[in-house]
Amino acid sequence: MKVLANDGISNEGKLALEKAGYTVITDKVDQADLASYVNAENIEIVLVRSATTVRKEVIDACPGLKLIGRGGVGMDNIDVAYARENGRTVINTPASSSQSVAELVMGHLFAGARSLHHSFKNMESGDFSTLKKRYAKGTELRGKTLLIVGFGRIGQSLASYALGCGMHVKAVNLTPCTVDISLGEIQGIGEIKVPITATSDLQAVIGEADYISLHVPKQADGSAVIGAKEFELMKNGVALINAARGGVIDEDALLAAIASGKVAFAGLDVFENEPNPRKDLLNNDNIATTPHVGAATVEAQDRIGLELADLIVKQFGVQVPA
The residues carrying an active-site annotation are: 245, 274, 292
What is the distance between the alpha carbons of residues 112 and 264, in angstroms, rounded to a whole number?
Answer: 9
What is the distance between the alpha carbons of residues 319 and 312, in angstroms, rounded to a whole number?
Answer: 11
In 3D space, the residue among 194, 154, 201 whose CA is nearest the CA of residue 178 turns out to be: 194
Task: Give how far the C-alpha of residue 316 lies from the chain's centroid of Cα atoms, to the nearest Å.
Answer: 29
What is the distance between the alpha carbons of residues 112 and 141, in angstroms, rounded to a whole number?
Answer: 10
Q: In what order do the strands lie in the sheet with 287-289?
A: 177-186, 190-199, 168-172, 145-149, 211-214, 238-242, 263-268, 287-289
What is the distance between the alpha carbons of residues 305 and 47, in angstroms, rounded to a whole number?
Answer: 10
Number of helices (H), then strands (E), in the chain: 13, 13
Are 112 and 265 spatial neighbours (Cβ–Cβ below 8 Å)?
yes
Query: How would you classify the pairing of strands 238-242 and 263-268?
Result: parallel
Task: Provide φ and ψ at 187, rounded to 5°.
Answer: -55, 130
